[in-house]
Amino acid sequence: MTKNNFGLIMKWVGLSEMGYVDHPKDPGGATNHGVTIKTLSKWRVRNVSKDEVKALTKVEAEEILKAWYFDPVRFDELPAGLDYTVVDFSINSGAKRAIEYLQRALGVDDDGVFGRGTMDAVKRAANEGDMPDLIKRLNEMRWAYMKRLSNWNSFKNGWTRRVMGDEIGIQDGDIGVIDRSIRLHEQAVGLSAKVPIPAPKPAAGKAEGKASLKSNWMQPEGLSKIATGVSMLGSAVSEQPILQVGLVAMAMLGFGFLLWQQMNKEPA
């Protein structure tokens, strides 16, 4: 039986993973709704194209996430808060790695298999009131692991916000798994009122960077709107040559700044 907060956490991980991404420095390659091209190929038992990844529906993506990232980490049996921390780790880095790091945080054999010994250690932590420390410890270990990855410099801002948040504590727009997990735990054990917890900031286009140039203003529709605006402004000053020269200069400077900004944009 699926636990009550399954829908909520599926929504949260979906917000952190939403959108089609094909960043050259992401080893997962083309990804949509958190499902990589390799994972989708394995799911459909054949090689799939990037277009098929792009066309992946949210419904099918959630079926994959549940089967390969929620169920292997025994989501339905984990205490509230720890469930979100482990599942988000699982989706981002694989179920086996998430289990290994959970086992290390618990101080048990890190064989990557979520067996009886691991679950007994989780239950002991819950019974002894160690759940907040366990959640913090696991998220800090995950963050440290991310820092060791070869593509850390390309994704560090987005990864840091995803796991640790922009600031300590919960606030609108903060997407820290560590803080949200603690709040889930506190609500489950009655330490805080059951009020809505701010959801992760939608991460559409999160991995767009200097190699992809896929922001809206660089798309045909965006460029068309820019051209229309410049044309209208140009018509308004058609009888004033000095203003025309100034307009062209400003437009070139503005476009140059936008291009520089986009080319140096860190992945979110």
Asked whether the predicted pLDDT for residue 36 surpasses 50, the reply is yes
Mark whether 130 and 237 lie in a shared domain.
no
Mark whether 177 and 51 lie in a shared domain.
yes
For residue 205, being part of any structural domain is answered with no
Exposure b/e, 32-56, CB count within 10 A at least 16 = b: bbbbbbbbbeebeeeebeeebbeeb
Chosen domain end from 173, 188, 203: 188
For residue 57, being part of any structural domain is answered with yes
Confidence of residue 25 (pLDDT cuts 50, 70, 90): confident
List the alpha helices (DSSP H) in the chain.
Answer: 6-17, 37-44, 50-54, 58-65, 82-93, 95-106, 116-127, 131-147, 152-163, 177-188, 220-236, 241-263
Confidence of residue 236 (pLDDT cuts 50, 70, 90): low
Give the domain CATH number at 78.
1.20.141.10
Mark whether 234 and 128 lie in a shared domain.
no
Mark whether 177 and 232 lie in a shared domain.
no
What is the model's pLDDT at position 212?
35
Mark whether 23 and 144 lie in a shared domain.
yes
For residue 200, being part of any structural domain is answered with no
**Which residues, at least 6 apart from 266, have a Cβ–Cβ distance to it below 8 Å?**
154, 156, 157, 158, 209
What is the model's pLDDT at position 248?
57
Contact predicate 243/59, CB 8 Å = no
For residue 199, being part of any structural domain is answered with no
Mark whether 175 and 58 lie in a shared domain.
yes
What is the model's pLDDT at position 1?
43
- Report pLDDT digits (tens) over 71-99: 999 999 999 999 999 999 999 999 999 99
3 state SS of 36: strand
Each as own residue / partner, the long-range contacts of residues 61-64 (CB below 8 Å, 24 or more positions apart, any chain) are 61/14, 61/32, 61/33, 61/34, 61/35, 62/10, 62/14, 62/33, 64/35, 64/39, 64/40
- Report pLDDT digits (tens) over 191-230: 999 999 998 887 644 433 333 334 333 444 444 444 445 4
What length is written for the chain? 268
What is the model's pLDDT at position 249?
64
What is the model's pLDDT at position 201?
80
Could you give the number of structural domains in the chain? 2
Mark whether 127 and 176 lie in a shared domain.
yes
Contact predicate 9/87, CB 8 Å = yes
For residue 101, being part of any structural domain is answered with yes
Encoding tokens for residue 31?
């990804």
What is the model's pLDDT at position 124?
98
Confidence of residue 232 (pLDDT cuts 50, 70, 90): low
- Report pLDDT digits (tens) over 179-189: 999 999 999 99
Mark whether 20 and 135 lie in a shared domain.
yes
Mark whether 135 and 226 lie in a shared domain.
no
- Number of other CB atoms surrounding residue 214 within 10 Å: 16
For residue 194, being part of any structural domain is answered with no
- For residue 78, is it left (φ>0), alpha (ψ between -120 and 50) or beta? beta
Query: Residue 186 and residue 191: Cα distance in Å, rounded?
Result: 5
Asked whether the predicted pLDDT for residue 178 surpasses 60, the reply is yes
Residue 258's alpha-carbon distances to 23, 92, 95, 215, in angstroms, are: 20, 31, 40, 11
Query: Residue 162 and residue 146: Cα distance in Å, rounded?
Result: 11
What letter would DSSP give residue 73? Answer: G
What's the pTM?
Answer: 0.74
Query: Residue 44 and residue 52: Cα distance in Å, rounded?
Result: 11
**Which residues, at least 6 apart from 46, have a Cβ–Cβ distance to it below 8 Å?**
none
Mean pLDDT of the chain: 82
Asked whether the predicted pLDDT for residue 170 surpasses 90, the reply is no
For residue 41, being part of any structural domain is answered with yes
Mark whether 158 and 220 lie in a shared domain.
no
For residue 161, being part of any structural domain is answered with yes
Confidence of residue 123 (pLDDT cuts 50, 70, 90): very high
Mark whether 182 and 223 lie in a shared domain.
no
Mark whether 39 and 78 lie in a shared domain.
yes
Domain enclosing residue 252, as ranges = 216-263
